[in-house]
Amino acid sequence: MGRVEGKVALVTGGGSGLGAADCEALAREGATVVVTDVRIETAQRVAHRIGNGAVALALDVAAEEAWIATIQAIEQRFGRLDILVNNAGVVLNADVEETTLEQYRWVNAVMSDGVFLGCKHAIPLMNRNDGGSIINMSSTGALLGYPIFFAYSAAKGAVRSMTKSIAVMCQEKGYKIRCNSVHPGSIETPMVQQAEGRAGQEQAVPEGVLKPGQSGHPKDVAAMVLFLASDESRFVNGAEMVVDNGVTIRPF
């Protein structure tokens, strides 16, 4: 029996990096995964690879009508939604002085509006069955002061706060829905390769215990997502789960 056997999961930005690793872990442990991405061909590749009934759908998380259509499609096909992983993201290397209003709105449209819309439209479908688990991908950017990730950190801070608001609302309304945020440190994905100016050049992540400053592997975050998605985490709600090999607790 898999850890999320029989559950239906929707993952945004599932075509790459952390999202793809989340899809793989959830399918391996028995979930039927709806792999979504604004780049449909990447979602299709992941759905094909992970199997277990996975399907791929195009979803731009910043577009409300796309969310409504996606949730309707999942209801028609599966009749339920148990797990939502709001993972889609973009990065912008710019401090507050360099960031234009247009850039700020774009980053926040994807990562702040996108998470808001996902939660808003998924909760009613989750509620029509057994409730569920919402996992919102934030970042250590929500916890530390990175000058160069200004808009990114603002969006991730919004994700951290809205997660707690949703968790408490669900409790107060008697919904069986938990909502937690995940805060990874640097993880070797195309996003980090782009942010570090080495797009397309993947670096190997060693096995075993990593040194401070080394990037983690997408599977290190997927392990946390899987735990939060499963009923094993039933007493974890509104929490900020930091997955950063201790970066945020170092005194200097």
Ligand X SMILES: NC(=O)c1ccc[n+]([C@@H]2O[C@H](COP(=O)([O-])OP(=O)(O)OC[C@H]3O[C@@H](n4cnc5c(N)ncnc54)[C@H](O)[C@@H]3O)[C@@H](O)[C@H]2O)c1
- Among 32, 44, 70, 87, contact with ligand X (rule: CB under 6 A): 87
Asked if 191 is part of the footprint of ligand X (rule: CB under 6 A), the reply reads yes
Asked if 118 is part of the footprint of ligand X (rule: CB under 6 A), the reply reads no
- What are the C-alpha distances in Å from 143 to residues 158, 184, 193? 11, 11, 22
Provide the token pair at 121.
Answer: 């439209």
Residue 152 annotated to the active site: yes
Provide the token pair at 140.
Answer: 């250590």
The answer to whether 118 and 67 are in contact (CB under 8 A) is yes
Distance CA 95, CA 65 (A): 32
Binding span for ligand X by CB under 6 A among 31-39, 94-102, 170-178, 228-236? 31-39
- Among 10, 13, 83, 119, contact with ligand X (rule: CB under 6 A): 13
Provide the token pair at 39.
Answer: 């780049």
The CA-based diameter of the chain, rounded to the nearest angstrom, is: 53
Residue numbers 58-77 binding ligand X by CB under 6 A: 59-62
* Choice between 132 and 184, CB closer to ligand X: 184
Distance CA 13, CA 58 (A): 10
Asked if 54 is part of the footprint of ligand X (rule: CB under 6 A), the reply reads no
Binding span for ligand X by CB under 6 A among 45-53, 56-64, 119-127, 161-169? 56-64
Binding span for ligand X by CB under 6 A among 37-45, 47-55, 97-105, 164-172? 37-45
Provide the token pair at 168.
Answer: 């408490």
Asked if 90 is part of the footprint of ligand X (rule: CB under 6 A), the reply reads yes
Least distance CB 195 / ligand X (angstroms):
8
Distance CA 38, CA 13 (A): 7
Residue numbers 126-185 binding ligand X by CB under 6 A: 137, 139, 184
- 3-state class of 138 per DSSP? coil
Distance CA 171, CA 101 (A): 36
Please give the positions annotated as active site.
152
User: Which positions touch ligand X (CB under 6 A)?
Assistant: 12-13, 15-19, 37-39, 42, 59-62, 87-90, 110-111, 137, 139, 184, 186-187, 189-192
